[in-house]
Structure 1
Amino acid sequence: MSYLDRDTMGIYKAHKGPGPYLMGANTLTGNNVINKKEEALGEIKEIMLDMRTGKVAYAVMSFGGFLGLGDKLFAVPWTALTLDTGNHGFVLDVEKEHLANAPGFDQDAWPDMTDAAWVNQLHAYYGTKAYQDPPI
């Protein structure tokens, strides 16, 4: 058995594995994101780890476009997402219009995700609390 022999929820196929509450980050990329109305919002493209704290800071998701063209990327605070084991993805409690107006970026022009102003703006937009930097 290979460590890659997992289903979409990160559970090892040969025996019960770590999922769904402890999962490899690579099993989360490609997962769908829906809202509470079960409207499709996008897809997880990246999981951003804060290397200072060891915590997941953001999920970068795509929204819009057609067949991957013209997709806008969004950093969504990890705390704004809820695991949806029934649909094998995540729930983000926002309306489609709210996401369409969210601060996003082009895949070739990522923001400085460590910039305090950017962090505060992002968390204010999603109504989440910004994590604090660890003491130096």
Structure 2
Amino acid sequence: MNTEYNFPISSSTAANCTVKTLRDESVGTIKDIMLDTETGEVAYVIIAVDSGFLNLGSKLLALPWAAFDFHGHQRDVIVINVEKEKLENAPGFDNDEWPVGPQHEFINKVHTHYGFDRRRAFIE
């Protein structure tokens, strides 16, 4: 994630932005931001995919927070630093089948798929 500018963004502001690839292709919008209750950090971000993008239908994709660049030149666009090919086989789910229960495995799968490290809680 681009950290040149260091300021907070509200979840409602993020949810109103269009998510695009580095090639300026519209992917969808942020549907939700999932928090890790152990670390207090964002576990992953849910994107509602635009119908027609990669023929994924209404699939929801989960991406690590680190995959997003919130500091682009357009205030209403958030860019994901992920190749289109990674999105085709991305961890995701249907709107009526969100992951439930302990999610360590799913969170690890999301981060591993995109090649980002997952932060872990320090437990003594």
TM-score (ref. length: structure 1): 0.71
Matches within 5 A, 1:5-84: 21-65=7-51, 70-84=57-71
Displacement of 1:113 after TM fit? Answer: 7.4
How many angstroms does 1:29 deviate by?
0.9
CA-atom RMSD, angstroms? 2.3
Determine helix, strand or coil for the equivalent of 1:43: strand
Determine if contact 2:39/2:120 at 8 Å carries over to the other structure. Answer: no
Query: In the alignment, which residue of structure 2 is the partner of 1:124?
Result: 112
Structure that is richer in helix per residue: 2
Find the aligned partners of 2:49 and 2:71 in 1 and give their Cα distance.
19
**TM-score, length basis structure 2:** 0.77
Kept after mapping to 2: 8 A contact 1:35/1:94:
yes
CA 1:116/1:28 → structure 2, altered by over 3 Å: closer, same or farther? same
8 Å CA contact 1:74, 1:103 repeated in 2: yes
Go from structure 1 to structure 2 and tell me whether the alpha carbon gap of 1:49 and 1:84 turns closer, same or farther (over 3 Å shift).
Answer: same
Pick from 96, 103, 115: which aligns with 1:115? 103
| Residue 91 of structure 1: aligned partner | 79
Does the CA-based 8 Å contact 1:112-1:118 persist in structure 2? no
What secondary structure, in the 3-state scheme, does the structure 2 residue paired with 1:26 have?
Answer: helix
Provide the identity percentage: 36
- CA deviation after TM superposition for structure 1 residue 83, in Å: 0.9
* Partner in structure 2 of residue 8 of structure 1: none
